Structure 1
Amino acid sequence: MIDIFVPLATGWLLDAVVETDSGQRMDQIWRELAVFLLLVVLFICCRNSLTLITNRISAKAMMELAKQSFAKIQRLSSDWHANTFSGSTVRKLTRGMWAFNAATETLAFGIFPAVLVSVGIVAVFAYNWLILGVLVFVGIALFTACSILLAVKWVAPANAAAQEVDSQVSGLISDAISASSIVKSFAAEEREDRHLADLVERWRAGAMKAWDRNAYTSLIQAAILIILQAGLLAGGIWLWSRGMASAGDIVMIVATQALFNGYLRDIGLHVRNLQRALSEMQDLVDLERAIPEITDLPDAQPIVVERGHIKFENVTFRYRGNAAPLYKNFSCEIQPGEKVGLVGASGAGKSTFVKLIQRMYDPESGRILIDGQDISSSTQSSLRSIIGHVPQDAILFHRSLRENIAYGRPDAAHNEIIAAAHQAHAHAFIEKLEAGYDTVVGERGLKLSGGERQRVAIARAILSQRPILILDEATSSLDSISERYIRDAIETIAKGRTTIIIAHRLSTVKSLDRILVFDRGVIVESGSHAELLQLKHGYYRQLLKNQEDSTDQRELAVQ
């Protein structure tokens, strides 16, 4: 609003120079000059104060956006993460944060000031010369309506399409870099280069389309402004010729048209920037609206587990998109402290069994109980905090070995970390590293071999000291000697814990209390290793025979 009075003060100063008597001229000139300078100083002070305020608001809001979006992403389902490029998700999150900053600056320094200046200029002109007030009002209304319509209906779709491809580019790059070892092993660098080149070409075409539409919009806005300026200046000269405006008024009109020309010219840019920022923020809005498939009930309570008794009661479960359920009225019971192996062909339901225990999925019907408590009525965080899990593909953070091992118990003492590493037979290779337990393992632990990563994951499970332990192909990445060491470690850490081991190497489950043999979502056999071998035509016995034959064939091939 201060800016509106600067042209008025300019006109007053000129009238003081031209019209004031010689005896009073200098006092009035100095007075008008002081008013002019005061307005300029006030404008600068207010604008810089606004900058300091918005800096703090934007920084805090961006921080909250990052925290809130990251928390939401962490709590979305396993299916959501499996179907989403992590690189694209990161790109959408960071782009949305900065888009919020751009939207805030555009509103605070562009659109709101432009609206206030437009209203003020119309009021000033209407007060002095109604005809000019009407002319300015019509011109500004036409310019604004045209800018908004072009931005929303014409530019926005092109921007949205370009942003979608931009996210795909980020996802492809992240995917290729994270799988760089596979790319190199298949000498596929040029193929990935071509893949990216094709996608980037699509991005270029989309970006050019969006940018060109922005440029054409600017031309249309400039044409409207030129017509408005010409009409305003012509009207001012016409008023001066009829004695209805002074020389100072003409200067004021010229200065005012320059003022609103700047604001309106920029408002076109601001509208486009705001539209682009809102479009980029839409990804965060969509993320916020995403509903986690697995949620805690309003009255969910922390689960309390002392024994580790697991029971499936008539559980029916199907994966999304599958017509038939994997489990139908499935029931099973694992006693406290029992060591149970899950074996069977791929897709038989072994991994689903442990995912349901961890409540990565909810069954369609039936119940899963731990120590008599329905896990669907418990909080997810408390449920997973009582389960130690070693996955088939051990994933480590790009952090030190100490932090990775202590991830389940961040407050663990260094001697406890070392003890866990000893039990997992990881200490020997760790102490040979230059930085020892402070060695940073690289993204997903790629600086370590598969077997080393698996041992660190087992050490992590050992240190967490959970009453229920799940090992999903925990020895699949280990050589036979290391596998024997790990089996010894499992024997040690399984004491007093309910332990579930998924295994394709049947040698891993021979010493367990009980083996559950899965086939297409049904437990077809159950018993110890010795008991199952007594079944002459048993499924387990056939699996063991097939595996021994495969091992013999490999040994003959080596010889």
Structure 2
Amino acid sequence: MASSKLAKEGDAYRKVLGFTLRQWRHQPWTLGAMLGAFMLATVLDVLTPLYAGRLVDAVARGGDAALGAAIEAFAVLIALGLGAVIVRQIGFMTIIQFTLRMMADTAQNAFRRVQRFSTDWHANTFAGSTVRKVTRGMWGIDQLNDVLIIFMFPSLVMLVGTTIMLGLIWPMMGVIIAVGSVIYIVLTVWLSVSFVSPAASLANMWDTRMGGALADAISCNAVVKGFGAEDREEERLSHVVGKWRSRTARTWNRGTLNGGIQGAMLIVLRTAIVGFAILLWQQGVAAAGDIALVLTSFFVLQGYLRDIGQHVRNLQRAVNDMEELVDVHLAPVGIEDRPDAKPAMIEEGHIAFENVTFQYGRHANPLYSDFSVTIPAGQRVGLVGHSGSGKTTFVKLIQRLHDVTGGRITIDGTDIRDMTQASLRSQIAIVQQEPILFHRSLAENIAYARPGATRREIMEAARLASAHDFIEALPKGYETLVGERGVKLSGGERQRVAIARAFLADSPILILDEATSSLDSESELLIQKAMERLMVGRTTIVIAHRLSTVRSLDRLLVFDKGRVTEEGTHEQLVGRDGGIYRRLFERQALELTRGMKVA
């Protein structure tokens, strides 16, 4: 069990440090300048005890001749101190820009990848948890850079420099310092990796879950209020917070104990070094200045070594914080553009499924098997069938939100895999059953389909969607912010804004996922007429749940378990005895009749 934990931690270190080194390579000159500055500042610190010893020697000798040596040693000490401060400050100023650029680039790259992850990835991942991974990882980069460049690198320079300097004077002293320091560092790293780190990883996992639970409950607050479930959600969060608290407490307690052990090891090392210095003095090998040199060197070195324990803990914390962010960077995007993919140039909108096979993830059986359908340019097609029959998958494959397992899908004779995804989707307008709006102004939401649209074009699209009047009635009109996911608008208003967005897109292919389902009868009639105008000359696919919305379409495809079992016009399918479409239509007609009787 312990070995597997160590292996896991080793993998985390390799993954995070490898990622960090790759980011460092983007700024080689800045990195070299930083390391040079901190190395020079540390070398100046290494030399400080040498001149402190000379100062003590001069004072101990006394006399006029010693005064000059004392003043000289004192002046050098001042120069070393000022030089170290100035050079180290240059390093600090450089690392600020270095780290900020690295944090910004990493966050932007993570966002870029998240935007391009598959719809399945987004469906299975909490938005709040993803945000937490990215933001926590960003600050992990800041801490990791500080630990490695500002602290651990100078500590290594100090250890090597002090060992060499004292070893040249008393070889055995150099051996004691080198061996004692190495034992201290190895034990410190081992305690951090095998004792503190596993607890920190678990605490971070619960920290991520807490962020996800908070975001989930807050984003669904309308549902919480609707069912009076505030206490229930608080109890649910209390469980998560309790787990986070206990795991974090264990991490902090282990870190504190680790610090105590490191303090004890430093006392042992100090005893060995000072005891050997006293022995040298007793034997007449070391003078008063030499003792001052040893003591000053040790206390400077002790400060660096004492901090190494904290730096290792901070390094582990930074690795834990960055691990999930690095996983985001390393995760496969899912669907990627081919290297030779070109921008889509859809003119007519002729769609063809050619012997398509498709299955979701690890499902044993494919949803589509040797599936072929052709939709001529400009045809208005309705997709009908029970839930799970393959209607939504059909349009997702056209958008290339999933890749086919076999066969191909073409638009105007070109395989959609030969087109860049962004250009393909930009030429397909879609109105979803549950429209999603940004927490931006109404004008920005409508213009999202065409960012360069003028205000007149935005307003015209809103008029066609019967949205202009209610927008103008708002206090800020088109500049009104709609709230997160459009929560400030009613369902019908959100739907009309989404429809206006589709009008403005003016794409050759139009997908309507029951686009009028949230509208009242009066608005629905207006929208239906507007939709009929919009469909002219465009290839239109309508996912129909209410069959009244597809009666006037050119052609209906009836899906059942991933196959098109019936196709034709509404009149043709209604007249087919025992057909799926006829059963669905009769059932909806019966439900409508019952509803009218009850009313």
Fold shared by both chains (TM-score > 0.5): yes
Deviations 1:26-46 (A, max 9, x none): 333222211110011011111
Residue in structure 1 matched with residue 4 of structure 2 by the alignment? none
Are positions 1:486 and 2:486 aligned together? no
Distance 1:296 1:242 in 2: 77
SS in 1 for 2:519: coil
Shift of 1:67: 0.9
Out of 388, 401, 425, the residue aligned to residue 384 of structure 1 is 425
Alignment of 1:330-479 (within 5 A): 330-479=371-520
Residue in structure 2 matched with residue 323 of structure 1 by the alignment? 364
- For 2:56, give the aligned amino acid: L
Alignment of 1:263-274 (within 5 A): 263-274=304-315
Distance 2:514 2:45 in 1: 71
| C-alpha contact (below 8 Å) 2:356/2:372 kept by paired residues | yes
Alignment of 1:109-508 (within 5 A): 109-508=150-549
Are positions 1:85 and 2:118 aligned together? no
Distance 2:335 2:475 in 1: 43
Out of 64, 69, 85, the residue aligned to residue 28 of structure 1 is 69
Are positions 1:48 and 2:106 aligned together? no
Distance 1:40 1:418 in 2: 69
- For 2:57, give the aligned amino acid: D
Distance 1:110 1:469 in 2: 59
- For 1:526, give the aligned amino acid: E
Distance 1:20 1:400 in 2: 82
SS in 2 for 1:525: strand
Distance 1:377 1:411 in 2: 27
| C-alpha contact (below 8 Å) 2:574/2:585 kept by paired residues | no
Residue in structure 1 matched with residue 49 of structure 2 by the alignment? 7
Distance 2:474 2:581 in 1: 42
Deviations 1:19-78 (A, max 9, x none): 1423x3433322221111001101111111110000010000111001111111111111
Which stretch has the larger CA shift, 236-245 or 97-106?
236-245
Deviations 1:90-138 (A, max 9, x none): 1011111110110001112210011000111111211111221111111
| C-alpha contact (below 8 Å) 2:352/2:409 kept by paired residues | yes
Shift of 1:450: 1.0
Distance 2:410 2:172 in 1: 81
Alignment of 1:544-555 (within 5 A): 544-555=585-596
Deviations 1:140-159 (A, max 9, x none): 01001101111122222111
Deviations 1:270-312 (A, max 9, x none): 0111122122212122112211221222222222211100111
| C-alpha contact (below 8 Å) 2:348/2:508 kept by paired residues | yes
Distance 2:130 2:414 in 1: 36
Distance 1:144 1:192 in 2: 46
Distance 1:456 1:227 in 2: 73
Which stretch has the larger CA shift, 249-258 or 39-48?
249-258
Deviations 1:351-397 (A, max 9, x none): 01100100111111111111111112222112111100111110011
Which stretch has the larger CA shift, 260-269 or 510-519?
510-519
- For 1:306, give the aligned amino acid: E
Distance 1:489 1:260 in 2: 79
- For 1:177, give the aligned amino acid: I
Runs (4+) off by over 6 Å:
none
Distance 2:444 2:155 in 1: 53
- For 1:155, give the aligned amino acid: V
SS in 2 for 1:299: coil
- For 2:309, give the aligned amino acid: G
- For 2:47, give the aligned amino acid: F
- For 1:506, give the aligned amino acid: L
For structure 2, which runs of at least 5 residues remain unmatched after alignment?
Answer: 1-42
Deviations 1:195-217 (A, max 9, x none): 11111111111111211221121
SS in 1 for 2:301: helix
Shift of 1:324: 1.9
SS in 2 for 1:406: helix
Equivalences, count: 557
TM-score by length of 2: 0.91
Deviations 1:510-541 (A, max 9, x none): 11111111122121221222222222333222
- For 2:154, give the aligned amino acid: P
SS in 2 for 1:407: helix
Distance 2:138 2:374 in 1: 48
Distance 2:78 2:334 in 1: 62
Deviations 1:435-457 (A, max 9, x none): 11111111111111111111111
- For 1:470, give the aligned amino acid: I
- For 2:144, give the aligned amino acid: A
SS in 1 for 2:434: coil
Shift of 1:86: 0.9
Residue in structure 2 matched with residue 529 of structure 1 by the alignment? 570
CA RMSD of aligned residues (A): 1.3
- For 2:291, give the aligned amino acid: I
Deviations 1:310-360 (A, max 9, x none): 111111112123222211211111111111111111111110110010011
For structure 1, which runs of at least 5 residues remain unmatched after alignment?
Answer: none
SS in 1 for 2:353: strand
- For 2:324, give the aligned amino acid: D
- For 1:391, give the aligned amino acid: Q
**Same amino acid, percent of matched pairs:** 48
Distance 2:408 2:151 in 1: 58
- For 2:49, give the aligned amino acid: P
Distance 1:555 1:233 in 2: 98
Distance 1:364 1:130 in 2: 70
Shift of 1:549: 1.5
SS in 1 for 2:449: coil
Deviations 1:457-482 (A, max 9, x none): 11111111111000112111112222
Are positions 1:18 and 2:52 aligned together? no
TM-score by length of 1: 0.97
Distance 1:388 1:444 in 2: 19
Deviations 1:137-190 (A, max 9, x none): 111010011011111222221111111111111111111111110011011111
- For 2:411, give the aligned amino acid: I
Residue in structure 1 matched with residue 31 of structure 2 by the alignment? none
Distance 2:393 2:215 in 1: 28
Distance 2:443 2:287 in 1: 81
